């Protein structure tokens, strides 16, 4: 519980700092704000960071209808510099951790058009990305409610 509280405080501090320092260049739209899910449902936002040293950072945050962080996770893995694979790995990792924490009503939000498109397909390609998507779909079957949405970067 102490670790979860520390992670939540770090996320809240990060969001507070980013909110105060965010500068939008003239002529650009303001960023789309995160909207909470309905009560009893949780939104899972995932993302990837690719590093030159052959490492990939996977991150996920699960929030409730009040916007409160209920699960946060990050994981550094060895990998190549393919963002699409990392987006899939981050979604799979975030969903797995959320399910292990006992959450079963989940909306996965991703800014990856490729991941979103493949999640909506019936059959998956027989390649690494396709197998990651199939893993996500298999995990999603453990949810009582599961939905995937595409959001702007």
Per-residue pLDDT tens digits for 20-74:
434 434 444 444 678 899 999 999 999 998 887 888 889 999 999 999 999 999 9
In 3-state terms the chain splits into helix, strand, coil percentages (rounded to 5) of: 40, 25, 35
Which class for 24: exposed (0-12), middle (13-18), buried (19 or more C-beta within 10 A)?
A: exposed
| Residue of 87, 104, 91 lying closest to 135 (CA atoms) | 91
pLDDT of 30: 41
Task: Taking residues 138-153, report their average pLDDT.
Answer: 93
Per-residue pLDDT tens digits for 109-118:
999 999 999 9
Per-residue 3-state assignment (H helix, E strand, C coil) for 95-122 = HHHHHHCCCCEEEEEECCHHHHHHHHCC
Token pair of 31 as six digits:
């960023």
In this structure, whether the domain defined by 31-150 belongs to CATH 3.30.420.10 is answered with yes
| Residue of 113, 54, 64 lying closest to 87 (CA atoms) | 113
Task: Taking residues 78-93, report their average pLDDT.
Answer: 88
pLDDT of 149: 94
Domain boundaries, the chain: 31-150
Q: Among the listed ranges 28-37, 44-53, 77-86, 141-150, which one has the minimum average pLDDT value?
A: 28-37
Give the separation between CA 115 and CA 111, rounded to whole angstroms: 8
Buried-exposed string 115-129: b where 16+ CB fall within 10 A, e elsewhere: bbebbeeeebeeeeb
């Amino acid at each position: 519980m102490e670790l979860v509280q520390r992670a939540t405080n770090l996320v809240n501090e990060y969001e507070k700092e980013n909110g105060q320092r965010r500068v939008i260049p003239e002529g650009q739209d303001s960023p789309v704000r995160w909207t909470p899910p309905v009560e009893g449902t949780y939104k899972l936002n995932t993302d990837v960071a690719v590093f030159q040293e052959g490492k990939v950072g996977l991150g996920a945050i699960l929030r409730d209808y009040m916007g409160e962080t209920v699960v946060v996770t990050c994981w550094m893995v060895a990998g190549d510099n393919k963002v699409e694979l990392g987006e899939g790995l981050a979604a799979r990792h975030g969903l797995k951790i959320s399910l292990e924490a006992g959450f079963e009503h989940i909306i996965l939000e991703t800014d990856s058009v490729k991941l979103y498109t493949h999640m909506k397909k019936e059959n998956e390609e027989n390649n690494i990305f396709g197998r990651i998507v199939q893993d996500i779909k298999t995990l999603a079957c453990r949810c009582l409610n599961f939905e995937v949405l595409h959001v702007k970067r």
